Every structure is written in structure tokens, then in C-alpha cells.
């Protein structure tokens, strides 16, 4: 399996002002840069192989800070991890956008299925290239929430900036042991035919639903289960 760590980017001024951001290329603000420096503080040290990101500047900035702070290679951006294009709502305050379109069916917006199709294709491409990899991907709140909801088959609340979710990827099994920093006692699993695209209920689009912190949580951080064994190799002479 390939382990993907999905990190939401740090804060931007549009996040702070509750403005729909989507595919608009808005940089991190000072708080977002500071958040990026502390993105992995709540998880145990872990041997990630490298960092990738969405091509949008807020994700790239976050990824570059994480890579530099943790001495990890930054392998660049993948278009598949770009945030949802919200069309008409881009640059519009969320209160105004929801008043005009309560179901988030904004004119010109990208469909949920299109987002899941390109994100899953990117994940499968990376997994095929790195079948035993441990890879951090800095992406976006709605895209990550769609992926977690599709695997778990339930709606989730909005994920905080720089929160980390984990996704195990094998050809016919995807597994989520951690969502938005919360290690799950009972990881969600999606078993499927190879190449399938998960789906979510359109009513789950808005960022409300289950708070990941309200789920049954594991006693140990989820990453501990993926840590390479440091035990010395067995010496047959010792058992003689």
C-alpha cells in the first residue's frame, strides 16, 4: 500500500474573511505561513519520503515550508489536487453565496464527480509510481473532504487549515485511519473494483456533517502503525 498524508494548506486572507476561494490563486497570509511551520507538530516524527502539492500558490507555499522544515524533497505540483472551481462564487463572501445559491449549485462550478475523478486519478498515478511510498500531499479543504467523505460514505464538517488526514491506497482497497488530525479506532474502508471512482451524496457538498473528533478515536496516533520496525534482525545463533 501507498500511504498518502493529505494536508490542507495554511490560512489565506480569503479564509479569514470567509470568501469563496476555490481555484482562485490566493497566497498564504502571515498566519498561514506560521501554520505551515507547525503543520506536523501534532503528529509523531515520521519518515515521509517527499512532499507534493496542488499547483495553487497557497498549497505550494505550505508544501515548500513543510519540506524545508523537515528536510524532505519537494517534488512539485500535480493538477489533480487543485481545489474545486466554484465558478460564480469565486471571490464572493460565503454568506452572500449561500443566500443566492443555498445548495452550492453556483453557475459554472466544477461538479463533485469531476473533482473526485481527477483527484483519484492523481492518487492512483502516484501510488503506481511509489507502491510502498509514504507521501505528503498539500491540497485543499473541499477536495480533501470530498475524498474522506467518499471513502467513509458520510458527510464531514470543514477541516482546519494544515490538518492532516491519512489515506492508504491499494488497487482495490482504500483505507482512512485518520481524518483532520483525529486517529480513528475503526478506520473507514472502501473496497472496490480496480479503477473505480467513489461517489458521495450531493447533499454532503456543504461543509457540515460529522465532526471527525466525535468519532471513536484510537488510543495511539495512527502513524505509529506505519512506522518502520527498528528491531534488529533475528540472529539464528541466539536461539541455539
Number of C-beta neighbours around residue 171 at 10 A: 14
How far is 25 from 60, CA to CA, in rounded Å? Answer: 11
Edge-to-edge order in the sheet of strand 173-179: 74-77, 50-53, 134-139, 2-8, 164-170, 173-179, 182-191
Which are the catalytic amino acids? 9, 83
DSSP assignment of 90-142, as one string?
TTSBHHHHHHH-TT---TTPPPHHHHHHHHHHHHHHHHHH-TT-EEEEEE-HH
Do the Cβ atoms of 70 and 43 come closer than 8 Å? no
Do the Cβ atoms of 3 and 49 come closer than 8 Å? no
Kindly state the DSSP code that residue 153 receives in the 8-state scheme.
T
Amino acid at each position: 500500500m501507498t500511504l498518502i498524508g493529505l494536508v490542507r494548506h495554511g490560512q489565506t486572507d480569503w479564509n479569514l474573511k470567509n470568501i469563496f476561494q476555490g481555484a482562485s490563486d490566493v497566497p498564504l497570509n502571515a498566519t498561514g505561513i506560521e501554520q505551515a511551520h507547525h503543520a506536523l507538530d501534532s503528529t509523531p516524527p515520521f519518515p515521509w519520503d517527499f512532499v507534493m502539492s496542488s499547483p495553487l500558490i497557497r498549497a505550494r507555499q505550505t508544501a515548500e515550508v513543510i519540506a524545508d522544515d523537515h528536510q524532505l524533497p519537494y517534488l512539485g505540483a500535480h493538477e489533480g489536487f487543485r481545489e474545486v472551481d466554484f465558478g460564480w462564487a469565486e471571490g464572493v463572501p460565503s454568506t452572500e453565496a449561500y443566500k443566492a445559491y443555498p445548495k452550492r449549485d453556483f453557475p459554472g462550478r466544477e461538479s463533485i464527480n469531476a473533482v473526485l475523478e481527477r483527484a483519484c486519478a492523481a492518487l492512483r498515478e502516484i501510488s503506481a509510481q511509489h507502491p510502498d511510498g509514504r507521501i505528503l500531499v498539500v491540497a485543499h479543504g473541499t477536495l480533501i473532504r470530498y475524498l474522506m467523505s467518499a471513502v467513509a460514505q458520510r458527510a464531514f464538517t470543514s477541516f482546519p487549515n494544515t490538518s492532516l488526514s491519512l489515506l492508504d491506497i491499494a488497487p482495490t482497497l482504500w483505507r482512512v485511519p485518520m481524518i483532520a488530525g483525529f486517529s480513528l479506532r475503526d478506520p473507514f474502508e472502501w473496497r472496490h473494483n480496480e479503477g473505480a471512482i467513489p461517489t458521495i451524496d450531493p447533499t454532503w457538498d456543504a461543509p457540515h456533517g460529522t465532526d471527525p473528533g466525535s468519532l471513536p478515536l484510537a488510543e495511539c496516533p495512527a502513524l505509529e502503525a506505519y512506522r518502520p520496525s527498528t528491531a534488529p534482525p533475528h540472529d539464528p545463533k541466539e536461539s541455539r
